[in-house]
Amino acid sequence: MADKDKASGMKSAYELALERLEQRGVERPREDFSAEVLEKIAEVRRQAEAKLAELEILHRDRAGKSNPLTHKEDDDNYVRERRRIEDDRDRKIEKLRGA
Tens-place pLDDT, residues 45-56: 999 999 999 999
User: What pLDDT score was predicted for residue 8?
Assistant: 55
pTM of the model: 0.65
Residue 4 reports pLDDT greater than 60: no
Let me know how many helices (H) and strands (E) the chain has, helices first: 4, 0
Q: Rounded CA gap, 75 and 16, in Å?
A: 45
Q: Rounded CA gap, 49 and 39, in Å?
A: 15
| Average confidence (pLDDT) over 56-66 | 87
Tens-place pLDDT, residues 11-39: 888 788 888 888 988 877 766 778 898 89
Find out whether 11 and 5 touch, Cβ atoms under 8 Å.
yes
Find out whether 76 and 17 touch, Cβ atoms under 8 Å.
no
> Domain residues of the chain, as ranges?
1-31, 32-99
